[in-house]
Amino acid sequence: MTAASQARRRRKADDLQIVALERGRHISYSACGIPYWISGVVPSVDDLVVRTPAEFRADYDIEVRLGHEAVGLDLARREVLVRDHDEGRELRIGFDQLVLATGAVPLRPRLPGIAAAGVFGVQTLDDGEAVRAALDGPLDGRGPARRVVVVGGGYIGLELAEAFVQRGLEVTVVEAAAAPMASLDPDMGGLVARAVERLGITLRCGEPARAVEVGPDGRVRAVLTTECEIPADLVVLGLGVRPATVLAADAGIRVGVTGGIVTDAQMRTVSHEGVWAAGDCVETVNRVSLAPTAVALGTHANKQGRVAGINIGGGYATFPGVVGTAVTKICDLEVARTGLRERDADEAGFRFVTAVVESTTRAGYFPGAEPITVKLLAEKRSGRLLGAQIVGREGAAKRIDVLAATLWNEMTVEEIAGLDLSYAPPFAPVWDPVLIAARKAWDAVEADVAAHER
Ligand SMILES: Cc1cc2nc3c(=O)[nH]c(=O)nc-3n(C[C@H](O)[C@H](O)[C@H](O)COP(=O)(O)OP(=O)(O)OC[C@H]3O[C@@H](n4cnc5c(N)ncnc54)[C@H](O)[C@@H]3O)c2cc1C
């Protein structure tokens, strides 16, 4: 919808007719807010919706067709084959320009019982509504849900686990790796694990789920891990997502090594003229490792949609790639990352040092000072920042934005240590944790150089 509205800003309705097809019941909403609506922090589902189809028609002259699924692309005839679920019919819609923004789909491992009723992946608002309905109403013949198992301890799994705890449910998170939040290094993930357990969530790490046990009513009854059986009324999958590219791939549109559609910087598919792609369904480039990457984040989806829309509208814009910045909150614990983890840096062929510092978010004596841990990775010899991770309490996470900006500009940790960052006791210690971490990382770079010179 961002692409559609950007194109409309530049080309009026008599010049460009825009039709948006959505197979579900909602458009233009914040999927990022779903966990907060499930918990009740956000009171109404309507609060998550930015603009309705009626508003798109009235304000932008964009026709939105809900319940319309694109089931095939005939690129030679420039037509989309569409299934209208409400009317139960199929139709073809012609196009001059086509934007693919099909998003991502939650990973569903091939486990016995995974298709049982009561097993949910949460990607769209329709998915969120299905989970809310299962929580709000009694389960057929079983009373209200009491126990939830979340399979996968990534950020979506943990945000949902927190939401379930806030609703008074008994929650277990099953995670195959040794620590949750695989987007962090395991040492930083360990800090998250302790916070999750303090919330009253049972965290079972190093225990992959191996089956879903199904009751005689066809509903999930338990999750079996390699170690035990965990009773469950609901199971939510938080195993990550993959780009939704079946439609594109079936039509011969080029899909890259990450599974995302390959585009150029203007968001044009590289294989087909007049076909664009944006959002979770595409791959982009990581500016640090220079490798292709598929990152399912709303911040990129919005920017890419804007770029596609501007270009379709006759303007010029490009998407510059990503550095891998992300932030989340699990209760009062803030978690943020940018750039490469140790594993990524190894894979990209970098030699690096690491520095971890513990500090406070405000001057230590100031009321409300909270703990913060900052970890930096810097390239050996050059000292260039390669990655950063932050775990802490209120005021910790958004410090990642300074590090993301320095990473983007390929600054060294020595340069970062000298940055003119703001200071007053209610906001930071006199040496901000970012500066202390950069100084420590630079010490490590120098020590490494000295060790090699000896
Ligand atoms: C629980 C949750 C929390 C999140 N939190 C954050 C966050 O804090 N920060 C952040 O940056 N990102 C977050 N994200 C990710 C963010 O929501 C996505 O990256 C973003 O929505 C992607 O936008 P998109 O337009 O590419 O795809 P979507 O928003 O997924 O939209 C794709 C749409 O296409 C429809 N569709 C798919 N195939 C077809 C078809 N064949 N025909 C018709 N319609 C079709 C789908 O029904 C869907 O509505 C979160 C996601 C979830 C699920």
Q: For residue 22, how far is its CA from the centre of ligand 1 (angstroms)?
A: 12
pLDDT in tens, 57-100: 999 999 999 999 999 999 999 999 999 999 999 999 999 999 99
Residue 141 has pLDDT above 80, yes or no: no
Between strands 147-151 and 170-175, the pairing is: parallel
Selected catalytic residue, list 32, 205, 228, 281: 32
Ligand 1 atom closest to 127 (CA): 53
In this prediction, residue 373 carries a pLDDT of: 98
160 CA closest ligand 1 atom index: 1
* CA 125 – ligand 1 centroid, Å: 9
The DSSP bridge partners found for residue 236 are: 120, 150
Q: What is the rounded CA–CA span in Å between residue 412 and residue 438? A: 9
Alpha carbon distances (Å) from 162 to 36, 118, 159, 380? 9, 19, 5, 39
Contact between 113 and 291 under an 8 Å Cβ cutoff? The reply is no
Cα(112)–Cα(223) distance, integer angstroms: 10
Q: Is 94 exposed, middle or buried (0-12, 13-18, 19+ CB in 10 A)?
A: exposed
Smallest CA separation from ligand 1 atom 5, residue: 32
Q: Name all contacts of 132-139 with Cβ < 8 Å and 24+ positions apart.
A: 132/37, 132/38, 132/45, 134/234, 135/38, 135/164, 135/167, 135/169, 135/234, 139/219, 139/233
Please indicate whether residue 32 is annotated as part of the active site.
Answer: yes
Please state the pTM of the whole predicted model: 0.95
Task: Tell me which residues have their CB closer than 6 angstroms to ligand 1.
Answer: 21-24, 31-32, 34-35, 69-70, 101-103, 122-124, 156, 244, 247, 279-280, 296-299, 301
Are 21 and 90 in contact by the 8 Å Cβ rule? The answer is: no
Give the whole-angstrom CA distance, residue 79 versus residue 71.
Answer: 11
Atom number, ligand 1, closest to the C-alpha of residue 328: 8
| Residue percentage of the chain with pLDDT more than 70 | 99
Q: Which atom of ligand 1 is nearest to the CA of 281?
A: 26
What DSSP string describes 368-424?
Answer: T--EEEEEEEEETTT-BEEEEEEEESTTSGGGHHHHHHHHHTT-BHHHHHT------
Rounded Cα–Cα distance for residues 307 and 316 (Å): 8
- Ligand 1 centroid–CA 104 distance in Å is 6
pLDDT(136) > 90: no
Q: How far is the CA of 101 from the centre of ligand 1 (A)?
A: 9
Per-residue pLDDT of 280-319, as tens digits, reads 999 999 999 999 999 999 999 999 999 999 999 999 999 9
